[in-house]
Structure 1
Amino acid sequence: MTHTTTTGGNPEALRAEVRAWLQQNVPPGWRAAQTGTGQDMFVRSQRDWFTKLVKAGYATPHWSAEWPGGGRSLAEQKVIYEEVARADAPRLILFFVALYHAACTVMEWGSEAQKRQHLPGILEGRVWCQGFSEPNAGSDLASVRTRAERRGDVYVINGQKTWSTLAQFADRCLLLVRTDGSGAPQAGLTYLLLDMKTKGVTVRPIAQITGDDEFSEIFFDDVEVPLSDRVGEEGQGWAVAQSTLASERGLTLVELTQRMRYSLPRIAAIMRERGVADDPALRRELGRLIPKVDAACALADRYLLKRIEGTEAAGDASIVKLAYARTLREFTLLGQRIAGLQGQYREDFIRGGGMETGNWPFDFMNSYNWSIAGGSDEIQRNIIAERLLGMPREPKNWVLA
C-alpha cells in the first residue's frame, strides 16, 4: 500500500494536492445520506471513507515514515487537517482512537511484537476504543478502580468502564487498570491492550439525550488478558496513558476550530432565510462571535507552531481546549436563537459530522461534551493556573477503596 503524495515536503504544494483530491473524493451529499440513519449505515460509510484516506496517504500523516502516508512534518499535517475542515469532509469518528490513541501509544511504548501485531491491522480497518473513564473516575484517571490481578501469565480483570466511544464496534480496547492500591494512586496503574471478544467482556451502548448512542459502558467479569498484551511495565500505566492522551493534542483542535470557522456561513444563511439578517441584536451577537472563532483558530495555530518549534509549555493545550469549548457553546447557542422556534425542535442528527452540523438542538447539547470530555473546563483551568501560571496547587486527599 503506497500513498500518492508527490509534493516533496512543500506545504503549499501539498495544500493544492489535498484540496484537489478532496474535491474529487468527499462523498457527495454525505450529510443528507447520514441524517437519521442507523449505526450500520454509519459504520459502512466510515469504513469506505477511511479506506479512501488510507490509500491516498491522508489518514496517517502523523505516523512514522515507514508507514503509508507517514513521516509528515507538523506543518504538513496542519495543512491536511485544514483542508479536510474546509471541504466539510466526514470526520473519522469510528477510527479516531485507532489512528491516534492506539497507534501512537503502540509506536512509543509497544514491543516490536505488538507493533507488528497491531499497526498493520489499524490500516486494514481494525476499530479500537478507549477504556479509561469509569463511573467515579472521569477526568481524574488516578481514581481508576477496575482491578487487574496477575495470575501466572495473565491478568484477570474485574470492573467497569464508561463513556467509551463506539466500543460496540471495537475489535480492541486501550485498557487502564489498577494492579496495586497500596501506594500513590498513579503508581498502581497498568496499561493493557484488550481483545474485545475475550470471554467476560460485555458492552452496553448508552442512550444519550441527543438520540445518539455514540458511547458505551464496558463490563469486565473475570476477563483474562495475556501478559504479552501489557504495554510498558506493571505500574507504568499512568505514564503510558499520558502519552495516549497527548497523541491527538493540537491537530484535532486545529481541525475543529477550522470546522467552526468554515461553518459561520451557515449562520449567515439562516439569518437570510428567516428574514432576520438586519436584526440589530442578532447582528451584534454574530459580530461578537466571529472574532471569538478567529481567536480560537489563532490559539490553535499558535499552539501547533509552539509544538513545531519545541517551545510548548504545560498548559498551552488547555488554553486552546478551553477557548474552543466556550466558543463552540456560543456558536451553537446563537444558531438556536436565530433559528427561533425551529431551533428548539428535536431533529434527526447527522452521523459523522462535526460539532456544528446546523442541527442546532443537537449541536447545542453536544457542545457540552467538549466542556467535559478530555478533561473538564475546571480541570483545564487548574492546569493553566498551576502549570502555566505557577499558582499553588489545590490540596488533594486521595482515597481508594
Structure 2
Amino acid sequence: MSLREEARAFLEESLSGPFAHARGLGGPGREHEGQELRQAWERHLGKHGWTCLAWPERYGGRAASLEDQVAFHEEYARADAPARVGHIGEGLIGPTILEFGTEEQKERFLPPIQRGDELWCQGYSEPDAGSDLANIRTRARLEGGEWVVTGQKVWTSLAHVADWCFVLCRTEEGSQRHRGLSYLLVPMKRPGVEVRPIVQLTGTSEFNEVFFDGARTAAGNMLGAPGDGWRVAMATLGHERGASTLGQQIGFRRELRRVIETAKRTGAAGDPVLRDRLVRSWLELEIMRLNALRMLRSDRPGPEASIAKLYWSEWHRRLGELAQAVQGRAGLVGELDALQRLYLFSRADTIYAGSSEIQRTIIAERTLKLPR
C-alpha cells in the first residue's frame, strides 16, 4: 500500500469515529473552533505516526520523501480534516531545531511536538518591527544561568494556546539591525508572560500581543550561538513554505468551487466580466500548483520562494473580493458566512508571513539581482 493510500484509509476511518465532528474545523479566521477537539486530534495523529513525516525516524518521523509528504497533505485537505494546531511546531521550529539544535535540544523538544503534546508560537513581529524585522527591540540578558526576556511581540498566532514560543531578541547591548540578535526558546506558561488577544475583522482572535516582562528561560534554550539569531530566524522562514502548501491549495480549490457555485445560484455567472474573473482564478490556481511543485524540487528554497508567497497571497485576496462580488448585496448583510469570512480574512494574506512589498523587494534584489 502506498503512503497516499495508507493516509486516505487512516483519515477515512479516524474522521468517521470519535473525530467525525472535527471535519472542517479551524483554519484562517476560525481558529477558535473546536480547540480542545483539535488538540486531541493532534495527539491522535502523533500516536499513529502522521505528524512530522519528513523528520528522521529517530525523532518520531518517517523520513518521508517529498512525493509522500505532498501526497499526505493533499489527502488531508481532501478529507476536510481539521486545521492543524501543531503546524508551527512541526513546520517551523521542528525543522529549525533539527538544523541548528544540539542533541540535547533535539531530545527535549522534538518528541513532544511529534506527539502533539506541546504547541508552539512564533515571536518575531513587534509594533515597530513587522516587515522590517531587523528593527526588533525585545531584549534578553543572561542572569544566573537563565535568559531574562523583556519586550513586546505582536500578531503572534495561537499564542493563547501555545506552550512555547521561539523568540528573536537582542542579546548584545547597543547592537543594531541584524547584528546582536539571538534565537531563544521561551516557555509561555510562566510568570512574566502576558497574552492579550487581538480582535480581528472576523470577530475572532487567533492573533495576539505577547508581553515579556522579565520572563525567564534556561541558558541552554538558545538555538545557534549568541548573535547568530538572524541566520537562524531566516532559516525558519525558509521552512515556512514547504510541502503543506500543496494541501493549502486543495483548500483554495474548495473555496473557489464554493464561489463558482454561488455565482451560478445568484446569476452572477451570466455576467461576462465576473465570468472572466472566475476563469482567471481557476487558471491562476493551476499555475500556483505547478510553481509550488517546481519550488519544492529545491533542497533548500532560496529567495525565489518569495514568488510563491507573493503569488498565493495576492490570488487569495482577489478571490475574497470575487466572493463578495458574486454574492451581490447579500454579501453585505446577515450572519457572517464562509464567503464573507473569506473576504475579510484574506485582506491579511498580503501582510502576514512577509508583506507583498517586502516580497517584491526580495525578488527584485536577490533573485533578479536588480540594484537596491
Once the two structures are superposed, the pairs formed by residues 208-287 of structure 1 within 5 Å of their partners are 208-287=200-279
Residue of structure 2 in register with 1:383 after alignment: 362
Residue of structure 1 in register with 2:294 after alignment: 302
For 1:34 and 1:115, how far apart are their aligned partners in 2? 29
Matched, 1:167 2:159: yes
Moved more, 252-261 or 363-372: 252-261
**Contact 1:261 1:294 survives alignment (8 Å):** no
Matched, 1:365 2:344: yes
For 2:91 and 2:25, how far apart are their aligned partners in 1? 27
Secondary structure of the residue aligned to 2:147 is strand
Residue of structure 2 in register with 1:320 after alignment: 308
Matched, 1:374 2:353: yes
**Contact 1:165 1:216 survives alignment (8 Å):** yes
Residue of structure 1 in register with 2:101 after alignment: 110
* Cα deviation code 1:78-97 (max 9, x no counterpart): 111122222222220x2121
Question: Which of 63, 67, 71 is the matching residue for 1:75?
Answer: 67
Residue of structure 2 in register with 1:396 after alignment: none
Residue of structure 2 in register with 1:337 after alignment: 325
**Contact 2:134 2:177 survives alignment (8 Å):** yes
Secondary structure of the residue aligned to 2:160 is helix
CA RMSD of aligned residues (A): 2.4
For 2:65 and 2:345, how far apart are their aligned partners in 1? 32
Matched, 1:120 2:111: yes
Residue of structure 2 in register with 1:20 after alignment: 9
Q: 1:389 to 1:181 in 2, by over 3 A?
A: farther
Secondary structure of the residue aligned to 1:212 is coil
Residue of structure 2 in register with 1:143 after alignment: 135
Give 2:350's aligned amino acid.
S
For 2:58 and 2:279, how far apart are their aligned partners in 1? 47
Structure 1: 5+ residue runs without aligned partners?
1-6, 8-12, 350-358, 394-401
Deviation at 1:295, TM superposition (A): 1.0
For 1:34 and 1:293, how far apart are their aligned partners in 2? 22
**Contact 2:159 2:208 survives alignment (8 Å):** yes
For 2:42 and 2:336, how far apart are their aligned partners in 1? 24
Question: Which of 174, 184, 189 is the matching residue for 1:197?
Answer: 189
For 2:59 and 2:104, how far apart are their aligned partners in 1? 16
**Contact 1:154 1:224 survives alignment (8 Å):** yes
Deviation at 1:217, TM superposition (A): 0.8
Deviation at 1:214, TM superposition (A): 0.1
For 1:187 and 1:142, how far apart are their aligned partners in 2? 9
Deviation at 1:32, TM superposition (A): 7.5
**Contact 2:77 2:250 survives alignment (8 Å):** yes
Secondary structure of the residue aligned to 2:195 is strand
Residue of structure 1 in register with 2:58 after alignment: 66
Q: 1:229 to 1:67 in 2, by over 3 A?
A: closer
Matched, 1:95 2:83: no
**Contact 2:201 2:345 survives alignment (8 Å):** no
Q: Percent identity?
A: 38
For 2:179 and 2:24, how far apart are their aligned partners in 1? 49
For 1:50 and 1:109, how far apart are their aligned partners in 2? 25
For 2:46 and 2:216, how far apart are their aligned partners in 1? 33
**Contact 2:25 2:34 survives alignment (8 Å):** no
TM score, norm. by length of structure 2: 0.91
For 1:96 and 1:221, how far apart are their aligned partners in 2? 27
Deviation at 1:174, TM superposition (A): 0.6
**Contact 1:82 1:258 survives alignment (8 Å):** yes
Q: 1:209 to 1:276 in 2, by over 3 A?
A: closer
Residue of structure 2 in register with 1:356 after alignment: none
For 1:38 and 1:142, how far apart are their aligned partners in 2? 31
Q: 1:242 to 1:291 in 2, by over 3 A?
A: same
